[in-house]
Structure 1
Amino acid sequence: MNQDYGITANSKHYTCMIDLLGRAGRLDEAQNVIKNMPFEPDAATWGALLGASRIHGSTELGEKAAEMIFKMEPNNAGMYVLLSNLYAASGRWREVGKMRLKMRDTGIRKVPGYSWVEVQNKIHTFSVGDSIHPERDTIYAYLEELDLWMKRDGYVSATKLVLHDVEEEEKEHMLKYHSEKLAVAFGILKIPAGRPIRVMKNLRVCEDCHTVIKHISKIVGRLIILRDSNRFHHFSGGVCSCGDYW
């Protein structure tokens, strides 16, 4: 960059490099980049490392990255949730509980997740387990039908993501009615074939919903575009434009 283009790398360039190494699972190299940066890493830099730790299941490294983020942004609820997901995936329920207590004691609240879809110039908003939408029974019945098709297609519920130490069947039920799934199902039911389904979500899409929407795009043959808090996801034919890393 410096030699050929006269551009001096800043923290954002370094964060991008750490993100790329993290995508490739080269976590040691990502750490070395952080150590050798010509300036102190910021919360975004450590966040890239924490995201890579979540994807590749490196709890120890995730704890280290989260600790640095908490020092810089003690009220960042999203980082508490990411670290809790790491603990839950490895069955460390005591640590999950500690994260909840820490959030409660410091007054940090997780922002409720909402998803919305526009149908005939009207915005339809959904929350997890939505019980107030006038067509909820039809939406839930359609999701049950899709669930059967997805399991035949090889779908397995990502119950490791549920931050509660409960039975597997209950975990599956808790995951089944996330807001983005409800919005996608409603969009498919109401938006004519051949037109894309466009859904917005105020938070990052969870791993299970991401997998589900990939299966749905393949089963129903529709383009589904989901804009979460991090990026656009284009689902088509069972794959997503993000390459399963977000």
Structure 2
Amino acid sequence: MQVGVLSACSHSGLVDRGTHYFHTMNNDYGITTNSKHYTCMIDLLGRAGRLDDALNLMKNMPFEPDGATWGALLGASRIHGNTELAEKAAKMVFRMEPENAGMYVLLSNLYAASGRWSDVSTMRLKMRDTGIKKVPGYSWVEVQNKFHVFSVGDSTHADTVRIYGYLEELYMKLKQEGYICSAKLVLHDVEEEEKEHMLRYHSEKLAVAFGIVNTPPGGRPIRVFKNLRVCADCHNVIKHISKIEGRLIIVRDSHRFHHFSKGICSCGDYW
């Protein structure tokens, strides 16, 4: 229960409240803090950009940090572009959990955002040599009591032509509104135009597009599920879709529910 409360504070940016709960656990209620509580606090501080505070808390823990704790620090370092701290955290995670594919991906993301393509290639080689495979992302949406599953760049669905046609028209509208794709999310050293094309057909965008073209305007909410965390570019695009189409779009990713309506997400762009 305590972990759930601290985690909720972390994903909502409630730093002061989370810190208060953490300190009162033992002082007021006699609850002994464990590694999971500390991991939540390091994640809370790190997400808020207080990386030094997160690192100091880790150093003062009454026990040695585990892979999850270092992973939280790595994730926060990736969000705020601190490559030096990310590399330090990744080194510890790889030592404790050498088969943790997610940590390789996080560090690769940071290298790609910094334009360090040789380091991205090195990470790929390490994953290949150790037999580690990235978990493929996929999304699914329920329409008329039937589930439809999509992967990135999926062209196997019977409605592919309508889905891709809708997204082509959508991106013309988005550019008119000043939309700029988050090209730094692409882990390949290719031209900007190719990066935009690769981002355009992420699985959650395909699922939302399918829901739009197969349900009446102003109808029931479109509910999409994804097995991984929704990427920042998809999050931004779906906000626009909710405004353009006047639809409530609910996306459940691996972290939380996102309720998109009128161009705004319930997470406040903090997740």
Q: Same fold (TM over 0.5)?
A: yes
Equivalence for 1:211? 236
For 1:79-228, list aligned pairs within 5 A. 79-192=103-216, 193-228=218-253
Equivalent-residue separation in structure 2 for 1:231 and 1:70 (angstroms): 26
Equivalent-residue separation in structure 1 for 2:224 and 2:200 (angstroms): 17
Contact 2:162 2:213 in 1 (8 A): no
Q: Alpha-carbon deviation of 1:236?
A: 2.1
Equivalent-residue separation in structure 1 for 2:63 and 2:268 (angstroms): 31
Q: Structure 1 residues 35-44 or 171-180, which shifts more?
A: 35-44
Q: Alpha-carbon deviation of 1:228?
A: 1.5
From the superposition, tell whether residues 239 and 50 of structure 1 become closer, same or farther in structure 2 (CA, over 3 Å): farther
**1:41 aligns to what SS in structure 2?**
coil
Equivalent-residue separation in structure 1 for 2:265 and 2:39 (angstroms): 23
**1:115 aligns to what SS in structure 2?**
strand
Equivalence for 1:245? 270
| Residue identity matched to 2:258 | H
**1:81 aligns to what SS in structure 2?**
helix
Equivalent-residue separation in structure 1 for 2:267 and 2:100 (angstroms): 24
Equivalent-residue separation in structure 2 for 1:77 and 1:13 (angstroms): 24
Equivalence for 1:234? 259
Q: Structure 1 residues 51-60 or 90-99, which shifts more?
A: 51-60
Q: Structure 1 residues 195-204 or 95-104, which shifts more?
A: 195-204
Q: Alpha-carbon deviation of 1:154?
A: 2.7
Equivalence for 2:27? 3
Q: Alpha-carbon deviation of 1:215?
A: 1.8
Equivalent-residue separation in structure 1 for 2:263 and 2:43 (angstroms): 25
**1:37 aligns to what SS in structure 2?**
coil
**1:28 aligns to what SS in structure 2?**
helix
Equivalence for 1:66? 90
Q: Structure 2: any 5+ residue segments left out of the alignment? A: 1-24
Equivalent-residue separation in structure 2 for 1:215 and 1:22 (angstroms): 28
From the superposition, tell whether residues 71 and 35 of structure 1 become closer, same or farther in structure 2 (CA, over 3 Å): same
| Residue identity matched to 2:198 | M
| Residue identity matched to 1:236 | S
- The answer on 1:49 being equivalent to 2:67 is no
Alpha-carbon RMSD: 1.3
Q: Alpha-carbon deviation of 1:153?
A: 2.5
Q: Alpha-carbon deviation of 1:65?
A: 1.4
Contact 1:43 1:72 in 2 (8 A): yes
Q: Structure 1: any 5+ residue segments left out of the alignment? A: none
Equivalence for 1:26? 50
Equivalent-residue separation in structure 1 for 2:195 and 2:174 (angstroms): 17
Equivalent-residue separation in structure 1 for 2:36 and 2:104 (angstroms): 23
What is the percentage of aligned positions where both structures have the same residue?
80
Normalised to the residue count of structure 2, the TM-score between the two structures is 0.87
Equivalent-residue separation in structure 1 for 2:65 and 2:268 (angstroms): 26
- Displaced runs of 4+ in structure 1, greater than 6 A? none
Q: How many residues align?
A: 246
| Residue identity matched to 1:213 | I
Q: Structure 1 residues 35-44 or 213-222, which shifts more?
A: 213-222
| Residue identity matched to 1:220 | E
